Amino acid sequence: MVSPDSLAQAEYKYGFVTDIEEETAPRGLTEDTIRWISAKKQEPEFMLEWRLRAFRHFLTLVEKEQSPKWANVHYPPINFADGVYYAAPKKDRPESLEDVDKELLDTYEKLGIPLEEQKRLAGVAVDAVFDSVSVATTFKETLSKQGIIFGSFNEAVQEHPELVRKYLGSVVPYTDNFYAALNSAVFSDGSFCYIPKGVRCPLELSTYFRINAAEAGQFERTLIIAEEGSYVSYLEGCSAPMRDTNQLHAAVVELVAMDNAEIKYSTIQNWYPGDENGVGGIYNFVTKRGKCAGNNSKISWTQVETGSAITWKYPSVLLQGDNSIGEFYSVALTRGYQQADTGTKMVHLGKNTRSKIISKGISAGHGQNTYRGLVKVMPRASDARNFTQCDSLLIGDQCGAHTSPYVEVQNSSAHLEHEAFTSRVSEEQLFYCQQRGMSAEDANSLIINGFCKEVFQQLPFEFAVEATRLLEVSLEGSVG
């Protein structure tokens, strides 16, 4: 029998498992685990030290039971001592793409991210992360000709330790929060990207994160540095197999933009959301922050969040340079029993800084969607401006939308604007579309896409198409 609830739960198309031999860290979380991971990666001493400092800090937080409690999400306590903190395909990362395991190539192809030369998306360089490690990076040579460094975090640690050392933790210190501390201690890989002075990155850079192993959590770090006058557009995608246990994904992303530099960071998040009864799915507890370190710099976050059982993330911008700009565009969809508590922090430090927040929450089924945002204007930040708009769309009457916008202003010249709307897909709109011949489903997806338009148009074209399709698939059967 089909219940209305299961209707609000569309098929998850990325739920397959790749059959590949993986090596995992011994179960548990002690200093030995940290040393094991660091040794596995043959890391320089400074990395191990940093991890251990983070781990010791993490232990004090565990002791004080300081995992975040303020978010509007509910889940049973996680037993951190019982987790598996590293999993990677047994074979080492091959030198060239041709030597990547067929199972892995097939996996990414199935996910719509072909890595092989002849099938690749034009104009997009991809770093493929499988569980704890990066397994392949495309277009590396093309990029390195312009001095752009793009590849796995591990490689960067080996080949550019001075850059890693300088910037690691400079935007999100391990003391920032519980999950940032945990990530700093156990993170295994991720993407690293460095754009030299004056270079406009000719390709979209993209990382695709795939969780495969059954028990391991995924803890990756991304670090992007845009030197003076440079530009980069970066995109992150993710998915995971369907399993009935919850898996933890606790990533940290740090962005640094120097004078006149611009970083555009887009995410299409499609982690497994759990089944129609709310069993299984990924806990997505992520810390993302950018620092507009230079004058006239710009950092723009765009996110389309359709997956995960629980999403907890606040991509933020520290507007340190004068005239710097921070933007946050978000579509968060919750259906089934998904919970999302997401938003942003815009911290105005420099003069004449501007920020813009456009948040679109869509709730269906029993989904709960919370926008949580903070706009903070520091004393030195004269003439700061913020525009915030958070809209919610409800589908059905079992779901919920909540907004918690916070404002802290310490400079009276600040100018802040806030708009918020909650709406339902109205019967009048549906009827109007159907009167023109559209089916109820098509009408719904048209209206919902319209609702998300300001966010989707921020995405690079191919990904806007992907996001539209993903939303359609996710909402299949939840309306009409």
Partner 1 sequence: MLEIRNLTASIGGNRVLNGVNLTVERGEVHAIMGPNGSGKSTLSNVLAGHPQYIVESGEAVLDGEDLLALPAEERARAGVFLCFQHPVEVPGVRLDQFLRAGYNAIHKSKGLEELDPLQFDRLLQGKAGIVNMEPSMLKRSVNDGFSGGEKKRNEILQMAMLEPRLSILDEPDSGLDVDSLRLVADGINQLRSPDRSVILITHYQRILNLVVPDVVNVLMGGRIVRTGGVELAEEIETEGYEGQDEVLQAQG
**Nearer of residues 7 and 447 to partner 1, judged by Cβ:** 447
Residue with tokens 């995405």: 459
CB 425, min distance to partner 1, A? 10
Residue 77 in the binding site for partner 1 (CB under 8 A): no
Using the contact rule CB under 8 A, the part of the chain among 70-78, 112-120, 339-347, 448-456 near partner 1 is: 448-456
Q: Which of 342, 355, 472 is nearest to 415 (CA)?
A: 355
**Nearer of residues 287 and 468 to partner 1, judged by Cβ:** 468
CB 10, min distance to partner 1, A? 21
CB 443, min distance to partner 1, A? 8
**Nearer of residues 228 and 472 to partner 1, judged by Cβ:** 472
Q: Which two tokens stand for residue 65?
A: 């039971």
**Nearer of residues 223 and 448 to partner 1, judged by Cβ:** 448
Distance, in Å, from the CA atom of 254 to the CA atom of 221, rounded to the nearest integer, reads 8
Residue 475 in the binding site for partner 1 (CB under 8 A): no
**Nearer of residues 407 and 438 to partner 1, judged by Cβ:** 438
The crossing angle, in degrees rounded to 10, of helices 31-40 and 45-63 is 150
Q: Write the DSSP assignment of 63-107 as a string of letters.
A: HTT-S---SS---PPP-GGG-B--EEESSPPPSSGGGS-HHHHHH
Alpha-carbon torsion (263, 269, 271, 274), positive or negative: positive
Q: How long a stretch of residues is the chain?
A: 480
Residue 461 in the binding site for partner 1 (CB under 8 A): no
CB 430, min distance to partner 1, A? 8
Of 112, 449, 462, 472, which one interacts with partner 1 (CB under 8 A)? Answer: 449
Site for partner 1 in 387-446 (CB under 8 A): 426-429, 431-440, 442, 446
**Nearer of residues 44 and 480 to partner 1, judged by Cβ:** 480
Contact 118, 97 (CB under 8 A): no
Contact 100, 135 (CB under 8 A): yes
CB 441, min distance to partner 1, A? 10
Task: Label residues 195-224 b or e (16+ Cβ within 10 Å = b).
Answer: bbeebebebbbbbbbbbbbeebbbbbbbbb
CB 195, min distance to partner 1, A? 33
DSSP secondary structure letter of residue 228: T
CB 401, min distance to partner 1, A? 17
Interface residues with partner 1 (CB under 8 A) are 426-429, 431-440, 442, 446-447, 449-454
